[in-house]
Every structure is written in structure tokens, then in C-alpha cells.
């Protein structure tokens, strides 16, 4: 083991040599597993991955959050250990000899590990990778995800409606000056009936944002349909939607069941609501829901999907959550928060503690920030008791783990 970097109380290291094989180890299902930075637990069998993630969650809850409430067994789906991703954004690069490389970055670098297939990608999308790569290779379009060599293609985007089989393809580029672009898009729509649309997303900025703000339709439709929790949702090129549809449904159903059982139809705030993947199923169960979201485009999409499903007991407001939440809390019995990886801002936690709803559900994608926030909300000086801690494995083969914390006001 070689120590490489220290950040606060953590050391980052890399493995230099394996002396003995792990008892629970296996040959990774992907031939690129040792190089690609996408999946780092493939060397463990599926049950061992789940056990490892569960231990990491419990350690964070105990060490950071000082929470002694036991977490439930990890919610998994053994049939979706591979082939679960309904979306991919894959970097592109054309080298000096003109060869197109497509793949994820090698760990700790911006060097692309060239691939033709990805085992964690839904097979319906995985089957498209190699022929699309060949078509792009046949063009003379420049490609450099980092724009070190100048303008050109940056990423290939693929999105699937898991329940509808509909596919949306996207080329992310710094420029629209790509000869034959519309013709190739039309060819893809003709060749694959499941491809309902092809778009061009323009991202000319030299930064680490994958998608830009402007998307142009090249062929077909701008959005595809997905069926989610018995609702019809429209998803576009830049729409944020969970990449594991069945597991996302499972955790939302667990949340809806808990709220309905304990609170009955009630008034709910869905903070950081995105396009309404929590707010809309709650409204469909009879709750009166207010969704709060910073990004106006997501709010517009949420409103469109609410109208599409004839849901009249849900409304959405665009703006900074911490600026909107204080006024909304006094008139609502329940609060659902689904914050980004950094967790809740301290001001948001302050607002919740000052006017605590009776029921609080916290969906987290980072056990460390969840534990930090639960220490304030449900610790000795908090106002909540932990009812359930339900970990959910959205991302098999990786170290990531989601957790749904369900809390009752004391």
C-alpha cells in the first residue's frame, strides 16, 4: 500500500501488490476493472460488496453521527448487480493518429480507458456503444473531452426509459460545426427504432461540467417517456433522474408507505425536489405536496409531469431552498429532503430545528454527511427520534450507498 494524499483526517492510498487473494474475492466481470475508474468493488462478490457498504454506513453513523439506532439490511436486487444503469455520459478523445477513444477515466487521471462495452450499463444501451463508436470513428470530427486540443466532441450521452425501451442519444460538443451531423443523427433513428431522438448539447466552457445549458434537437423527439411508480415522466437530455430505476422505485415506495401509515394523507414539503420523482408519487397517494428546487428547468419539468399525470395537489417553487423553506415549514406536517452529496446546509438544519415538522424523511447519497446532519437533528440536543434507517444499493460494483432516514419528532 502506498500513501498518496492526506485530506483532513483521511489518507488516500493505492494498492501496490496483492499478497493473498481475498476470501470473498472473485474475477471482476469487466475486463477493464483494474484500470477503469468507474467501478471499484468488482473484485468482491455481490454479497461481500453489500456487507462492506453496510459496515461503512454503520461506522459513519456511529463515529460521525453518534447514532446507535441499527440500520436495516441493505435493500438490494441481485438480478440488477450488473446491467442496471439507464444512463451514461462517456468521455471521448481522438488521438494524434486519428483513433477515437471512448471510455471512463483511469483512476486518478484524465486518461481515457478505451471501451466497447460496459457491464453495468443496461444491455439495451450497451449494445449501442460499439456501433456508435464506429460511426464516430468514421467521421473526421475532432474529439477531446477536456478541450485541450481545441473544439470538438466531448461526451457521448445515452438515456433509456427502462419501462418503455425508449432511447435518447446525445452528442456533447463545444461546437455545432460538425459536417454531416444531422445526417448521422437521422441514420441512428432509422437504424434503431428504439432511438426516439438524437440531440446535440453544447458545452463550450473549459470546466468540469459535462453538460451545457443549450440543447438542440437533431432528429426525432427531445424527450423520452419513462414509467416510474405508475406515473408517466418525460426525461430530456439534461434531466436529472436516478440511474437505477427499480431501486429508485423501491426506496420511494418505502417512503410513501411509511408516511401514509404514520401520518395518513397530509401536507408535505419535498425539498431539493428535482423533477418531482418524490413529490409526484406522494401527490398520487393523496398528499398535498410543495416541491422546492433551485433549478428552474427542473421545476418546469416537474410541473409538466404533474400536468401529464393529472396531479392537482402538488405545486412547485423555484429558488434557493434555504430561502423558501422557513416560510413553508409552519404550514406542513411532513418534510422530505433529498440534498446533494454535501448534505444539508447548516442554515437549513437550523430552520428545521426551529420549526420541526412532525415527520422528517432524509434521502442521502453520502453516509458521512447524513451522519453529520443526523447528529444535530436526532442527537441529544435534537428534536427527532430515528424510526428507520434503510440503506439502498443504487450502484452495485461501486462504493456508493444511498440511505433513507425516517424520523419522528419527539
What residues act catalytically? Answer: 365
100-109 long-range CB contacts below 8 Å, 24 or more apart? 100/133, 100/136, 100/137, 100/143, 102/129, 102/133, 102/136, 102/156, 103/32, 103/36, 104/36, 104/37, 104/38, 105/37, 106/35, 106/36, 106/37, 107/14, 107/35, 107/36, 107/37, 107/40, 108/14, 108/37
Contact 172, 210 (CB under 8 A): yes
Integer Rg of the chain from CA: 22
Are 55 and 70 within 8 A, CB to CB? no
Say how many C-beta atoms besides its own lie within 10 A of residue 347's C-beta: 14
Q: How far apart are CA 94 and CA 88, in angstroms?
A: 19
Strands (E), 272-401: 288-293, 314-318, 334-337, 359-364, 384-392
Residue 371, classed as helix, strand or coil, is helix
State the burial class of residue 96 (Cβ atoms within 10 Å of its Cβ: 0-12, 13-18, 19+): exposed
What is the three-class DSSP state of 403?
Answer: strand
Amino acid at each position: 500500500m502506498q500513501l498518496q494524499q492526506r485530506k483532513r483526517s483521511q489518507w488516500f492510498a493505492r494498492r501496490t501488490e496483492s499478497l493473498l487473494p481475498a476470501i470473498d474475492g472473485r474475477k471482476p466481470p469487466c475486463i477493464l476493472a483494474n484500470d477503469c475508474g468507474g467501478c471499484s468493488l468488482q473484485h468482491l462478490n455481490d454479497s461481500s460488496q453489500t456487507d462492506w457498504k453496510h459496515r461503512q454506513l454503520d461506522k459513519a453513523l456511529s463515529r460521525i453521527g453518534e447514532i446507535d439506532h441499527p440500520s436495516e439490511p441493505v435493500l438490494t436486487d441481485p438480478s440488477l448487480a450488473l446491467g442496471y444503469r439507464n444512463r451514461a455520459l462517456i468521455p471521448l478523445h481522438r488521438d494524434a493518429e486519428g483513433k477515437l477513444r471512448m471510455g471512463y477515466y483511469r483512476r486518478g487521471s484524465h486518461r481515457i480507458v478505451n471501451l466497447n462495452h460496459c457491464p453495468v450499463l443496461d444491455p439495451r444501451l450497451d449494445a449501442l456503444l460499439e456501433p456508435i463508436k464506429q460511426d464516430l470513428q468514421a467521421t473526421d470530427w475532432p474529439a477531446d473531452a477536456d478541450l485541450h486540443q481545441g473544439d470538438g466532441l466531448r461526451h457521448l450521452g445515452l438515456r433509456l426509459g427502462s419501462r418503455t425501451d425508449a432511447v435518447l442519444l446525445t452528442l456533447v460538443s463545444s461546437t455545432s460545426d460538425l459536417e454531416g451531423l444531422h445526417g448521422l443523427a437521422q441514420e441512428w433513428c432509422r437504424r434503431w427504432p428504439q432511438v426516439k431522438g438524437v440531440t446535440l448539447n453544447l458545452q463550450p466552457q473549459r470546466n468540469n461540467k459535462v453538460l451545457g445549458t443549450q440543447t438542440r434537437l437533431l432528429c426525432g423527439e427531445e424527450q423520452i417517456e419513462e414509467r416510474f411508480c405508475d406515473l408517466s415522466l418525460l426525461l430530456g437530455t439534461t434531466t436529472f433522474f436516478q440511474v437505477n430505476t427499480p431501486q429508485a422505485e423501491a426506496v420511494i415506495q418505502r417512503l410513501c408507505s411509511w408516511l401514509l401509515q404514520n401520518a395518513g394523507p397530509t401536507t408535505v414539503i419535498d425539498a431539493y425536489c428535482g423533477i418531482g420523482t418524490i413529490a409526484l408519487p406522494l401527490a398520487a397517494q393523496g398528499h398535498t405536496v410543495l416541491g422546492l428546487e433551485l433549478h428552474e428547468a427542473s421545476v418546469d419539468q416537474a410541473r409538466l409531469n404533474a400536468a401529464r399525470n393529472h396531479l392537482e395537489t402538488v405545486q412547485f417553487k423555484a429558488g434557493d431552498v434555504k430561502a423558501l423553506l422557513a416560510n413553508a415549514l409552519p404550514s406542513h406536517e411532513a418534510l422530505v429532503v433529498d440534498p446533494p452529496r454535501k448534505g444539508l446546509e447548516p442554515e437549513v438544519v437550523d430552520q428545521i430545528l426551529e420549526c420541526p415538522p412532525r415527520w422528517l424523511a432524509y434521502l442521502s447519497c453520502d453516509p458521512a454527511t447524513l451522519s453529520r446532519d443526523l447528529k444535530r437533528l436526532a442527537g441529544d440536543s435534537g428534536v427527532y427520534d430515528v424510526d428507520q434507517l434503510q440503506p439502498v444499493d443504487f450502484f452495485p460494483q461501486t462504493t456508493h450507498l444511498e440511505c433513507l432516514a425516517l424520523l419522528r419528532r419527539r
